[in-house]
Amino acid sequence: TEVPSNDTRKYEDRGWTLMEEILCDSKGGDWNRWTFGEFDPDSMQWTDSVVFFMQAKSAKLRPPLTPQKFAIELEIRRQRVRQFDLPLFVNEKDNEEVPCLYEDIYVQLIHSTKLSYENADWSDEEALFCLEVVANCDRLERLSLANNRINVKAATEIARLIPSLPSLKYLNLSGNPLCQESQATDLVRLVWSREAKPMRSLIM
């Protein structure tokens, strides 16, 4: 996330880096996102592989965005850098090509059968961004949002989405504040049961 100190366009002032951040953090599966910013290859600290990978897990993830929300985020960056007479993209054509590329990759994301965003440090707001994407994942079989800061608002949206996800058979919401709210847990369990999904695969 560093650029040369004499470069006036910082990492967070570029359109490509926004797309790269979101795509790296939101890809399907789990245990496939690593941060090596402070990694010292000569250190003897990482003799244990488990410790190594636990230390390298990202502390916070960006939620996936729909192409429409991605375009809004790009425009926010564009307006910010315009104040300093800087371009969002060096190559003018990238203003059109990057949103198109994001949309192409987004199509692959919504065809995922497994999405795992455990320990992503998400509140309801960030979870709702993610759920906008999940709403289009009609092949999704497993979804884990464990160990975040998700509460009643996002839990209500999860319950609303369950009937529209016919392939979903596993949902892990454990370790979230919503688990302490009977209003949230009762609603999710009710909808999950009504859709005849396996109760043992609903983790809260």
| Confidence label for 39 from pLDDT (cuts 50, 70 and 90) | low
Mean pLDDT score, 51-78: 82
Distance between alpha carbon 169 and the CA centroid of its chain, in Å?
A: 20
pLDDT above 60 (res 11): yes
Record the tokens describing residue 197, joined without a space: 């999904």
- pTM for the structure as a whole: 0.83
pLDDT above 90 (res 84): no
Q: Which residues of 150-170 are buried (b: 16+ CB within 10 A; e: fewer)?
A: bbeebbbbbbebbeebeebeb
Q: Do 198 and 171 meet the contact criterion of CB atoms below 8 Å apart?
A: no
Structure confidence at residue 26 (pLDDT): 83
pLDDT above 90 (res 53): no
Mean pLDDT score, 154-181: 98
199 against 49, higher pLDDT: 199
Mean pLDDT score, 35-58: 61
Give the pLDDT confidence of 97-110 residue by residue, as tens digits.
999 999 999 999 99
Structure confidence at residue 57 (pLDDT): 56
Mean pLDDT score, 68-81: 94
- Token look-up 């009762």 returns 186
Cα separation, 84 vs 49, whole angstroms: 45
Contacts of 127 (CB under 8 A, 6+ apart): 63, 145, 148, 150, 154, 157
Which of the 8 DSSP states describes residue 148? S
